[in-house]
With several copies, the nearest count.
Chain A
Amino acid sequence: MVDTRVDLCGVALSNPVIAASGTFGFGQDFAPLYDLNQLGSFSFKGTTWLPREGNPSPRIAECPAGLLNAIGLQNPGVHKVISEELPRIRQVFDKPVMANVSGFSIEDYVRVSELLDAQAQVGWLEINISCPNVHGGGMAFGTDARMAGEVTRAVRAATRKPLIIKLSPNVTDITEIARACEAEGADALSLINTLLGLRLNLKTRKPLLPFGTGGLSGPAVLPIALRMVWQVYEAVRLPLVGMGGVSSARDVIEMMLAGATAVQVGSANLIDPWACPRIIHQLPGAMAQHGISCLRDIIGGAH
């Protein structure tokens, strides 16, 4: 029997597969499809202080081996997440859930984190300093080491839960940002968020998405994600949550060899609702094929 368990900041995962924020809602659309407890965990939709309607449509544009999204952080706001979504999650998911926190100011991040810190169901806070789809905030925090450090410090003071900072790939040197987050007390880093991209509508001769750009995800970004996980693994001592284009058990293994302790699956959920259980189911076979008996042993194994 192969051993797929990993430990993420002191919280045990039965396997490293975590559904990525924004591709899994609050779990409710997947709960009728399979037992969510098969998952290592899931990261719920980016949650902000106030409810957000998100961007005008269209919000999705197709790309080769991927998609652009410009959802704009549609979510019911942290109060409703706590009063309505967390109780509904409890009914379908017994494990600690990852809380994805988004914001437009340091104060936003802090007050959302404070409220979620008090929730027993929340296993980790994942601070999204890298959303490219909102005006004023979001990605700006993730593309500047000083600001990334400041967010980390402020949220660190607001929570005793494991603190994961989610990094933006839209930077010259991701290790600089990673080190700033480490220095200010992050417990782990997750990467990558989406890459800034653009598609045009040839009929209207205008951008397809309402604000022009959107965030690129899916298999197209896998090599970039692997490179960044690889670089950050060498730059910091923190555990990493790797993501970006992961669609199969072999991708999970590749991500872990590059340095990830756990692996998130995002876009794959959208085109195959059973992607996560399929990958989890494939894992033992893929491990056996590559002579891996214990997944923990391969974390960063390619370095």
Chain B
Amino acid sequence: MRQTAFTILENTPIARDTYRLRLAGDTAAFKQPGQFVNLSLPGYYLRRPFSACDWQKGELLLIYKVLGQGTADLVALRPGTRLDALCGLGRGFDLNACGRQPLLVGGGVGVPPLYRLARELVARGRTVRVALGFNTAADAFLVGELQALGAQVRVATLDGSLGERGTVLAVCDADSASDFCACGPTAMLKALCAATRLPGQVSLEERMGCGFGACMGCTVMTPAGPLRVCREGPVFDREVLAW
């Protein structure tokens, strides 16, 4: 974990209520796709957790959706604004646990961390398939970018306005996959785990007090005992959760 003062480089809409937030600052703390930042927003006491969508030396990319008051206010922040963040939080996706044909499954604001994950898997020569689920075409993002990495991308929307009609499960070719990595709403993750017996890693979301293990605010109950999403997660082996 590292505390970094980032400066906003870009904060622009890319889909309905969805923004691309490019930040300048030290990114050395990020080690794994699926790790997150805990971002301090002016006027709010608690920080907001966001997955790292991608990073390079000195630059971090987040993609956020306006969900409540804090993210609504974030939209108004202009380039040049400084934002304090705790970086490199949590345990991300374990690339060594990924097989040769991993299936990446993302729903809604669970999609961003899959970008970095796909990038690293492609770099390791894996055949990467990506299944994305959105409510409607207007909500979709990162589709082209993931394709540009060389991943095979399939999209489902609930109303059929883009790709298949249905949930992301409709476009999950689990048969040909060696394993899966998934991030999205809990209901989606559970449905996915129910639908396949493939080995897999899932990234969970929980309301957080601290984001680095101090408060027990983000605990998820597992057969192995209570685990902290911010510390033992956010990415868990499905076996650990027994989902």
Contact = CB atoms under 8 A, between A and B. Distances in A.
Question: Direct A–B touching in the complex (beta carbon < 8 Å)?
Answer: yes
A59 B214 contact: no
Given A33-B1, A270-B209, A273-B210, A60 B45 contact: no
A274 B44 CA distance: 18
User: Does more than half of chain B's interface fall in helix, strand or loop, or is it mixed?
Assistant: loop
B216 A45 contact: yes
The winner among B3, B40, B209 for most chain A CB atoms within 10 A is: B209
B216 A62 contact: no
Contacts of A270: 46, 209-210, 214-215
A231 interface: no
A25 B40 contact: no
B152 to A, nearest CB: 35
B17 to A, nearest CB: 13
B101 to A, nearest CB: 34
Interface residues of A, number: 37
A1 interface: no
A77 to B, nearest CB: 11
Contact of B209 (A45, A54, A69): A69
B150 interface: no
Interface in B199-219: 206-210, 212-219
Interface residues of B, number: 27
Interface string A44-84: 01000000011011111111111101010010000000000
B217 A60 contact: yes
A29 B46 contact: no
Contacts of A269: 210, 214
User: Does more than half of chain A's interface fall in helix, strand or loop, or is it mixed?
Assistant: loop
Contacts of B216: 22, 25, 45, 54, 59, 71, 74
B169 interface: no
Interface in B1-45: 1, 3, 40, 44-45
A271 B210 contact: yes
B214 A273 contact: yes
B214 to A, nearest CB: 5
Contacts of B65: none
Contacts of A30: 214
B80 interface: no
Contact of B215 (A28, A58, A69): A69
A60 B46 contact: yes
Nearest to B231: A29
A60 B208 contact: yes
B45 A62 contact: yes
A141 interface: no
A259 interface: no
Nearest to A203: B68
Interface of B: 1, 3, 40, 44-47, 69, 86, 206-210, 212-221, 225-226, 231
Closest 8 CB pairs of A and B: A29-B213, A58-B207, A270-B210, A60-B217, A60-B209, A74-B216, A60-B207, A62-B46
Interface of A: 22-25, 28-30, 32-33, 45, 53-54, 56-67, 69, 71, 74, 218-219, 250, 267, 269-274
